[in-house]
Amino acid sequence: MNIVPKLAKFLVLVTLMVALGLATRAPAFGQAPDAAASPAMPQGWDSRIPVPPGAALVDSSVPKVGVVYSADFAVKGDFKELVDFYEAELPKAGFAMGPKVLIVARKVYNRNFSAGGGLDSVVISPSTSDPSKFNVHIAWSHTSAKSAPKAS
Show the CA angle centred on residue 136, arms to residues 141 and 117, nearest 5°. 20
Give the residue, 100 or 23, on which the prediction is more confident: 100
- Report pLDDT for 1: 55
pTM for the model stands at 0.69
Residues 117-145 as b or e (16 or more Cβ within 10 Å = b) = ebebbbbbbeeeeeeebbbbbbebbbebb
Interatomic CA distance for residues 63 and 118, integer angstroms: 15
Show the CA angle centred on residue 19, arms to residues 133 and 53, nearest 5°. 35
Work out the pLDDT band at 85, boundaries 50, 70, 90.
very high
Work out the pLDDT band at 59, boundaries 50, 70, 90.
very high
- Is the pLDDT at 110 greater than 90? The verdict is yes
Under a CB-based contact definition with an 8 Å cutoff, are residues 72 and 47 in contact? no
Rg of the chain's alpha carbons, rounded to an integer? 19
Domains and CATH numbers, the chain: 4-147 (3.30.310)
Work out the pLDDT band at 36, boundaries 50, 70, 90.
very low
